[in-house]
Amino acid sequence: MKLELTNRIINNQSYIREISNLKALEMDRKFCRHDTEHFLSVARITMLLCIESGMDADPDMIYAAALLHDIGRSAEYKYGVPHDIAGKDVAEKILTEVGCDEDMKAAIISLIVNHRNKNNPENSLEYLFYRADKKSRLCFECPAQDECNWSAEKRNMDIEV
């Protein structure tokens, strides 16, 4: 199945520019980067968690949200604005540019602004997306483990579903 919205996003000039800026800002980052590999891992893990929990989810919405969930990182690095908050406006702009309908846009924005919220209701898509974002990190092979600020309990030291 071709993901129409997702493909419009990856070809959007505003998205390409934002990701290019983020890549430049993270060039020397030794910790987890916020790149396409991370975005697609979040999408795939979210889809698996949805299947596991019996939740019906639109793959195009999940992949679009995953591509955009860290889009506010540049503003966080430059201005100190939390990226989930800064990402809302950037994502809304991109979603408008690619012709996303308002209901889908609202659902995607909810995933973006809640992807750091560990208090999302456990039966919500926001909670599964939050979990996927955390599970996507390969802490067990990270060369910067000794400098990471994630607690030992939070780190992914084993592969799990």
- The token duo for 88 is 């809302």
The DSSP string of 13-49 is: HHHHHHHHHHHHHTTT--S---SHHHHHHHHHHHHHH
Share of the chain above pLDDT 70, in %: 95
Tell which residue, 16, 35, 65, 27, has the closest CA to residue 137. Answer: 35
The fold adopted by the segment(s) 35-136 is Hypothetical protein af1432 (1.10.3210)
User: In the predicted model, is pLDDT for residue 30 greater than 80?
Assistant: no
User: In the predicted model, is pLDDT for residue 58 greater than 70?
Assistant: yes
Domain ranges of the chain: 35-136
pLDDT bucket at 100, cuts 50 / 70 / 90: very high
- The token duo for 105 is 């846009």
Largest Cα–Cα distance in the chain? 44
pLDDT for the residue 146? 73
Asked if residue 135 lies in contact with residue 160, where contact means CB atoms within 8 angstroms, the answer is yes
CB atoms within 10 A of CB 32: 16
Query: Could you identify the residue written with the tokens 């997702």?
Result: 6
Provide the terminal-to-terminal Cα distance of the chain, rounded to the nearest Å. Answer: 24
pLDDT for the residue 129? 96
pLDDT for the residue 134? 87
Average pLDDT, the chain: 90
CB atoms within 10 A of CB 15: 22
Task: Give 102-157 pLDDT, tens digit per residue.
Answer: 999 999 999 999 998 989 999 999 999 999 998 887 767 767 777 767 777 777 67
d(CA 38, CA 122): 23
